[in-house]
């Protein structure tokens, strides 16, 4: 017995399966954005990809040697839309970074532009490279003491 093949029936079955997957994923509330951490002479930079995150949901905080970032990405679809596949995560995420004490968490600068959160954690003043001035001439007391000690044979 021959059966007729109905491609629309196959597509409808695929739609039902995709809908079950999407509904099963609706409770997911945890995700982790792509993150780069870069260091230079100025400090430590953290770049986080957060497209479609409302800047009002962004929270950046620090405590002791930890820097934390929280945000929420929502997904909105109209009643007339049918979701076939949803690969972009949604919901709230939270991520913390342990920051070495050589960086100053009291002076963190944060900006959010084109879906990228940029955090700059500047170096602590005591760890920044600095130029040490070298004095010249014989008027420096340390030099006089060294010269006098050398002359007296000590």
Domain that holds residue 42: 29-76+88-128
Q: Is residue 13 part of a domain?
A: no
DSSP E strands, the chain: 35-39, 43-49, 59-63, 66-73, 91-98, 109-113, 116-122
Q: Is residue 142 part of a domain?
A: no
Q: In angstroms, rounded to a whole number, what is the distance separating the alpha carbons of residues 79 and 99?
A: 45
- pLDDT tens digits, residue range 47-104? 999 998 888 999 999 998 999 999 998 877 788 888 888 778 888 889 999 999 999 9
Q: In angstroms, rounded to a whole number, what is the distance separating the alpha carbons of residues 72 and 81?
A: 22
Split into its structural domains, the chain has a count of 1
Which tokens go with 114?
């084109």
pLDDT interval class at 121 (50, 70, 90): very high
| Residue 131 scores a pLDDT above 70 | yes
Closest CA to 114 of 16, 47, 69, 17: 47
Give me the pLDDT at residue 97, please.
Answer: 92
Q: Is residue 115 part of a domain?
A: yes
Mean per-residue pLDDT over the chain, rounded? 81
Q: In angstroms, rounded to a whole number, what is the distance separating the alpha carbons of residues 154 and 22?
A: 86
| Residue 117 scores a pLDDT above 90 | yes
| Residue 149 scores a pLDDT above 60 | no
Q: Is residue 67 part of a domain?
A: yes
Residue 41 in contact with residue 24, Cβ under 8 Å?
no
Give me the pLDDT at residue 137, please.
Answer: 78
Q: Is residue 1 part of a domain?
A: no
Residue 89 in contact with residue 82, Cβ under 8 Å?
no
Give me the pLDDT at residue 28, please.
Answer: 43
Q: Is residue 66 part of a domain?
A: yes
Q: Is residue 52 part of a domain?
A: yes
Q: Is residue 99 part of a domain?
A: yes
CATH of the domain at 34: 2.60.40.790
Residue 117 in contact with residue 47, Cβ under 8 Å?
yes
């Amino acid at each position: 017995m021959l059966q007729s093949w109905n491609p629309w029936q196959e597509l409808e079955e695929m739609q039902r399966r995709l809908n079950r997957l999407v509904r099963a994923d609706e409770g997911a509330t945890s995700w982790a954005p792509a993150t780069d951490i870069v260091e230079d002479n100025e400090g430590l930079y953290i770049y986080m990809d957060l497209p479609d995150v409302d800047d009002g949901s962004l929270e950046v905080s620090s405590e002791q040697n930890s820097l934390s970032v929280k945000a929420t990405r929502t997904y909105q679809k109209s009643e007339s839309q049918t979701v076939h596949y949803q690969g972009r995560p949604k919901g709230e995420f939270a991520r913390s970074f342990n920051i070495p004490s050589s960086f100053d968490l009291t002076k963190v600068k944060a900006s959010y532009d084109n879906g990228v959160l940029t955090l700059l954690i500047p170096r602590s003043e005591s760890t920044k490279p600095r130029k040490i001035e070298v004095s010249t001439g014989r008027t420096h007391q340390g030099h006089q003491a060294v010269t006098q000690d050398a002359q007296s044979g000590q």
